[in-house]
Amino acid sequence: MKDGQSIVDILYETAKNCGSKTALIYQDQSYSYDAFITHVEEVAAGIDALGLRRGMRAAIMLPNTPEYAFLYFALMRQGIEIIPLNILLKSTELNHILGDSEAHAIIAWDRFANVIIPAVEDLDNCKYQLYIGDSTPQGGINLGEIWRKNRPVPARAEINSEDIALIFYSAGIGGQARGATHTNESLVLTVQSIAETFLFSHTDTVLAALPLFNTLGMIVAMIVPLAVGAIFVLHPKFESSKVVHALSQNQVTVLPGVPSIFDSILGDLPENAENLKLRLCISSGAPLSQQSFFHIKNRLNVPIIEGYGLSECSPLVAANRIYREQKYGTVGWPLPEVDLKIVDDQQQQVAPGDIGEIMIRSKQVMKYYLNRPEATKSVFHRGWLNTGDVGKIDSDGYLCLVDRKKDLILRGGFHVYPKEIEIILNAHPKVLQSAVIGDTSGNSNEQITAFIVVKPGRKTGIEEIREYCLDKMAAYKCPDQVKFLARLPRSSSGKILKRALRDS
């Protein structure tokens, strides 16, 4: 993999060297590197014809299809900032992200029109509603029809290393969803760092069972393989039996995933699983269960690497190594070009073995929170990012995560911030107050519990609240349990005591 101003430079260089070699496999379709570039340029011609230009912003809301990959690199090629969107988001959540980011366009699967149309109706900035699929929803344009018209390929935009390339929206280190901006330089460095850390090469075949809007799926399962000339096998969605079948059929060598994926495939592994071509499993997004760690390692006879990252320095800043002992319960060492330290409440570095907040310094760290200078200032201290995560460095130099961001819930690889759920719950006409907590119950997913105080004289029940949540937020954010209280426990200053709720 060669250096470049952007990952588009790297892709073109790789394609020049790989040419007819397979780049992408999707179901019964395969695309060579030459064909991949051709499709990227066709899409680039289509978006250019519509007037999308360098410096504009486009949100992508697509399932795992080849069109996602072509569109992603086409937008990058034309210097358009990309905002990946979780396909499970509902209209209110989309409205916040599209409005906050001032996105000029949303590009989505036509079947998502029912949530997109109400999300954009009051947004003047989002002038382009572009769809991919068989239909053209009201008020939108079918992008697929436009890019298949054999238009002249536009010139590649002049891309600078400091230009914003990606904006990841997540719960962040506090407050509502906000966009962490990443430059072309930070993205290139991240890709190079991951390729070096996990010894990726042109001989690898990487299985993308994670959604491509997920940072691990996007960067580790898609961009890195294409950057090094490897094969990228794309699955529409995660299905345990199909993933296990693909490990053999496609001779997969690297499987990135969140813990729930590894939990699921254990029961479907064949008796001769150790004979697969698999050389590496990579897990991040939540702590991996001890059972999965040792079963995967022993049944497959390959290392399973746990890593640590956050949207502000996505997707990984620390990881165990292939060539050293993988210690369960740790996330290894910082990746190349990443500085990491543990500090106390006064921002002073603590002694080895002591617990404190994890701080990161690297060019891979986000540039800023989009349109939020105060929030940006609050998480940086003399060039170091305050992660809000608590950890320690053990006697062997391994990073151990002791706790996570206050209140942040990790659910199936997704980050869920209780405040987002509470804002929606508190908007219910019968709800006076709410508090949401996460609870780990011995597996990789946290259970979400909502505590609700009903307005005087009003009545509601668990089913009504659940139906309301399913209508207003992504399913993975919906509470597993709903409990009704006469009042929420509070401190003398009026702050809700979530620790007391957890202990109740």
Q: What are the pLDDT digits (tens) for 245-264? A: 999 999 999 999 988 889 88
Name the residue with tokens 């206050």: 406
Q: Is residue 94 part of a domain?
A: yes
- Residue 171 confidence (pLDDT): 58
Distance CA 37, CA 501 (A): 54
Average pLDDT over residues 455-473: 94
C-alpha dist (Å) from residue 320 to 208, 281, 323: 21, 11, 9
Q: Strand, helix or coil at 182? A: strand
Q: Is residue 451 part of a domain?
A: yes
Residue 224 forms part of a structural domain: no
Mean pLDDT along residues 430-439: 89
| pLDDT tens per residue across span 206-218 | 999 999 999 999 9
**487 pLDDT higher than 70:** yes
Has residue 241 been placed in a domain? no
- Residue 328 reports pLDDT greater than 80: yes
Identify whether the C-beta of residue 426 lies closer than 8 Å to the C-beta of residue 433: yes
pLDDT of residue 243: 95
Q: What's the pLDDT score for residue 264?
A: 87
Q: How many residues does the chain have?
A: 504
Cis peptide before 315 (omega within 30 of 0): yes
For residue 482, is it within any domain? yes
Per-residue confidence (pLDDT) for residue 174, from 0 to 100: 47
Distances (CA, A) of 461 to 429, 467, 481: 13, 10, 12
Per the structure block, which two tokens stand in for 138? 């009201």
pLDDT at 442 over 60: no
The answer to whether residues 169 and 83 touch, using CB atoms and an 8 Å cutoff, is: yes
**CA-to-CA dists, residue 381 to 198, 329, 376, 402, 408, angstroms:** 30, 28, 10, 22, 22
Over residues 302-325, the pLDDT tens digits come to 999 999 998 899 899 999 999 899
In a domain, 405, yes or no: no
Residue where a domain terminates, one of 144, 159, 174: 159
111, 134, 159 - which closes a domain:
159
Residue 112 lies in a domain: yes
Residue 465 in domain: yes
Strands (E), 344-398: 356-361, 380-381, 384-393
Residue 58: CATH number of its domain? 3.40.50.980
**For residue 457, with 0-12 CB atoms within 10 Å meaning exposed, 13-18 middle and 19 or more buried, which class applies?**
exposed
pLDDT surpasses 70 at 242: yes
State mean pLDDT over 28-38. Answer: 97
Instruction: Give the end of a domain, one of 107, 136, 159.
Output: 159
Chain-centre distance of CA 54, in angstroms? Answer: 24
What local confidence, expressed as pLDDT, does residue 3 receive? Answer: 59
pLDDT in tens, 364-405: 999 999 999 999 999 999 999 999 888 899 999 999 987 655
pLDDT at residue number 492: 42
Residue 499 has pLDDT above 90, yes or no: no
CA dist., res. 199 & res. 307, Å (int) = 15
Q: What is the residue range of 451's domain?
A: 417-503
**Domain count of the chain?**
2
Instruction: Answer with the residue of higher pLDDT: 494 or 51.
Output: 51
How many angstroms separate the first and last alpha carbons of the chain? 54
Arithmetic mean of pLDDT over the chain:
91
User: Which has more pLDDT, 17 or 495?
Assistant: 17
